[in-house]
Each structure stands twice: as structure tokens, then as C-alpha cells.
Amino acid sequence: MHLVRLLKRNNRKPKKEPSMNTFLTLIDPTSLAANPLVLVALVFTGATIGVIGGLFGVSGCFLLTPVLAEIFGMDYTYAAGMASCHAVGIAATGLRRHTRVGSVDIRLGLTIAVGAAMGAIIGSKLLDLLKVIVFAGNSDDLDFTVRIIYLVLLVFVTTLFVKPAKAGDSSILQKLQLGFRWQVPGEPEKTFSGPGTIIAAFLCGIACGFLGIGGGVLYLPLLVIAVGAKAQNAIRVSLLIVLCSAIGATIGHAWADHVSLTGAMMMIIGSSIGVQGGALICQKLHTEKLKRYFIFVLLSTMGLIIWKLIHP
């Protein structure tokens, strides 16, 4: 508890708005480098998130943002910015690792990614606008709203994983008759609506930019459940989308000075090693067991947010 209190005292909120006086203030607006203990804690947090990312093929930012906000006591805007920056590194690493094993449907991935990246930029700007216009700079009210939205999203994703679509049934986007059609990755006999997928990816992108998550937790169900792609193909396409979405969100957050590059790099040092360990464990575990563990991680994240809502 002492460490948590110490971390909170150092990182609760920036004492003043980050100035543009020096480049150093820009790199480290929350003065994280002032406390070596916080930097070490960030490396360990990154390593843990990396193991989870490697295990489930996601960037792990759906867990990282609440951890930074609730345990490190960071402002949600800074937590979202750092998580987006961290997602760039993790998605690039994951994509490189997966492309060594098999090919990625680049055309599908990039087309969805364009919609997702545009959504992510809008999402990160929306968070900024909400803070300034709706909440008049009141971070506590903004944090409460973000927590509620996060909770709703996690409940939705958990429901998708608990109740998967029946085998043999056409997915939602395969049934949707809107605009041009694309072939389902790995299943050339099946097609799905292209514009419908771009719209869905755009909406997911807004959620990613707003909440500072890489989006694997959203794009994976989108590709597996809504598009009907096979898991391995979906993971590769999802990682490409996550990378593009994270790039969009990072541009938005960095432009608004909401990224502590020092903190993000500390986490990447840990997570780039952790992700290799997670991928090794993943090879030894059965798919059903992996799914159950993933639901447990989602429920734990929900528990952390609910606990913070009850005890602000």
C-alpha cells in the first residue's frame, strides 16, 4: 500500500499544464523520471501487460489504461496517451512475430485500418473536447464518465466471448447486404459487406482513441464473430488494424501533450520482453483454456474499475 501511496503522491496529476518551454518537459509532462521507483514499477507493469498481450494476441492496453489510472493514480487523459504510445510498440512486435509464421490479408487489414485510424483520431480529440467543454477541466467528472463507458464496453466484449456464434451460421456482416463484398480471410467461398465492416471499424476506432486502448479486444471479436474469419487469420489482421489505430490515437494524444514518452518507453522495455514469454506460454495452452483465462482478465479489469467507482 505504501508503494501505491508513494506512486499516487508522485503521479496523481501534473502540478501544472505541460509547458512547451523545453523538449524535456514535452517528453515527460508528468515528471515520472523524477522518481526511479515509479520507472521500475512501470517496467514491471509493462512486463505483466506484455505477458498478457503475448498470451492472447492483443496489445493489452484495455488493461493498461485502468492500471495506470487506478493504481498509478494518473489522469485518464495521460493514461490513455501512454497506453496508445505503448500499443504502437507492442502491435509492431506482435505483427512482425506473426508475419514470420503466415501471411496477413494486407488489403483487408489496411482498408479497415484507415477507418479505424480516422475513428481513433476523432476518439482522442473527443476525450480532449469532453474535458474542456463538457467538464470544464474537471478531471474527476471526466474520469467517472470514462470509467462507466469502459465498464459498458468490457461487459459487451465479455458477453461476446461467453456466448460465441453457433458454428455454421453466417455472421452479421456476411448477412448484411450493403455495398461491395470482400472474401472472408481463410474462407474464399464466403463474402461479407465491405462498407459495413469499415463503419464498424470506424466506431471501434472512436472507442479506442477515447479510451486509449490498442483495440485488439474489439477488432478480434469484430473479425471472428462479425466477419466470421478464422482465429489465426483474424489475429494477424487485427494486429495490423491495432497498429494503425494506435498510430492514429498516439498522434492525437501526443499533439495534445498527453503522452509521457519516458513512461511509455519504460513500459515498452518490460512488455517487449514479456510478450515473448506470453507467446511461449500460449503455444502450450489449449484454446478453450486461453479463452477462459481471457474472460478472467476481462472480469478482473471490470472489478478494478467497479472498485474505483465505489471508492473514488
Partner 1 sequence: MSKLIMKTLFVGLCLLAPAIWGLTIEAVFYKLRRKSASCKTSEEK
**Could you list the residues that contact partner 1 (CB under 8 A)?**
20, 23, 26-27, 85-86, 88-90, 92-93, 96-97, 100, 247, 250-251, 254-255, 259, 261, 264-265, 268-269, 272-273, 276
Smaller CB distance to partner 1: residue 88 or 240? Answer: 88
Amino acid letter at 226? A
HSE (side-chain half, CA atoms, 13 Å) at 298: 24
Q: How far is the CB of 28 from partner 1 (least distance, A)?
A: 11
- How near is the Cβ of 286 to partner 1 at its closest, in Å? 22
| CB closer to partner 1, 220 vs 243 | 243
Q: Under a CB-based contact definition with an 8 Å cutoff, are residues 50 and 228 in contact? A: no
227/225 Cα distance (integer angstroms) = 6
Q: How far is the CB of 59 from partner 1 (least distance, A)?
A: 11
Q: How far is the CB of 292 from partner 1 (least distance, A)?
A: 27
Rounded-to-integer distance, Cα 59 and Cα 87, Å: 6
* Interatomic CA distance for residues 297 and 149, integer angstroms: 18
CB of 282 to partner 1, least distance (A): 14
- Give least dist CB 37 to partner 1, A: 22
DSSP-assigned letter for residue 138: -
Nearer to partner 1, 194 or 277 (CB): 277
- For 173, counting Cβ atoms within 10 Å of its Cβ (0-12 exposed, 13-18 middle, 19+ buried), the class is buried
The residue whose grid cell reads 463503419 is 199
Q: What's the closest the beta carbon of residue 265 comes to partner 1, in angstroms? A: 6
Dihedral, CA atoms, 270, 151, 122, 73, nearest 10 degrees?
Answer: -50
* Closest to partner 1 by CB, 93 or 171: 93
Smaller CB separation from partner 1, 69 or 88: 88
- Residue closer to partner 1 by CB (options 11, 260) is 260
Q: What stretches of the chain show up as alpha helix (H) in DSSP?
A: 2-11, 23-27, 36-56, 61-70, 76-99, 106-129, 139-162, 172-175, 194-211, 216-221, 231-255, 261-284, 287-310
Smallest distance from the beta carbon of 240 to partner 1, in angstroms?
13
**Cα 154 vs. chain centroid, distance in angstroms?**
12
Q: Checking DSSP bridges between strand 187-193 and strand 181-184, what pairing results, if any?
A: antiparallel
| Residue 255 CB, nearest approach to partner 1 (Å) | 6
Instruction: Identify the sign of the CA torsion 139, 141, 145, 148.
Output: positive
Please, which residue, 16 or 100, has the CB nearer to partner 1?
100
Nearer to partner 1, 240 or 247 (CB): 247
Instruction: Round to whole Å and give the CA distance between 116 and 98.
Output: 21
In this complex, which beta carbon is closest to partner 1, that of residue 112 or of residue 121? 121
